[in-house]
């Protein structure tokens, strides 16, 4: 389970990348191409020098899976995010 901020950020990024892929006829960025570009950046260990081909392939497959299944994976996340933000606002008002 990801922490809330990470989950909401990943949801926004994957949703955006899915929208980019929907225009692949014009921009040539299919889900597969996007996974190749973003997979290593999102998944390879921080500070990893000379990451193996296996790590890159794994990262690409995970991102591709997210792109293909984002609607099911992130179902309800927008409502969860809204509730989380509401809670933060209430806490801020209590401390003000």
User: What distance in Å separates the CA atoms of residue 43 and residue 64, rounded to the nearest whole number?
Assistant: 12
* Residue that wins the pLDDT comparison between 68 and 52: 68
The CATH number of domain 4-95, selected from 3.40.640.10, 1.10.555.10, 3.40.190.10, 3.90.45.10: 1.10.555.10
Range 23-50 average pLDDT: 87
Q: What is the pTM of this model?
A: 0.82
pLDDT at position 55, please? Answer: 81
Residue 19 has pLDDT above 70, yes or no: yes
User: What distance in Å separates the CA atoms of residue 29 and residue 33, rounded to the nearest whole number?
Assistant: 5
- The pLDDT mean for the chain works out to 90
Q: Give the closest residue to 63 by CA, choosing from 21, 94, 32, 29.
A: 32
User: What distance in Å separates the CA atoms of residue 78 and residue 51, rounded to the nearest whole number?
Assistant: 34
Listed in sequence order, the residues at least 6 apart from 28 whose beta carbon sits closer than 8 Å to its beta carbon are none
Domain boundaries, given as residue ranges, for the chain: 4-95
Whether the Cβ atoms of residue 58 and residue 36 lie closer than 8 Å to each other = no
Whether the Cβ atoms of residue 76 and residue 96 lie closer than 8 Å to each other = no
* Residue position matching structure tokens 């996974």: 35
């Amino acid at each position: 389970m990801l922490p809330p901020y990470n989950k909401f950020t990943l949801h926004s990024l994957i949703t955006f990348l899915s929208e980019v892929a929907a225009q692949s006829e014009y921009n040539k960025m299919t889900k597969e191409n996007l996974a190749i570009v973003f997979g290593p950046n999102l998944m390879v260990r921080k500070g990893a020098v000379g990451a193996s081909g296996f790590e890159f392939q794994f990262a690409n497959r995970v991102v591709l899976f997210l792109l293909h299944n984002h609607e099911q994976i992130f179902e309800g996340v927008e409502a969860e995010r809204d509730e989380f933000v509401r809670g933060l606002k209430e806490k801020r008002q209590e401390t003000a």
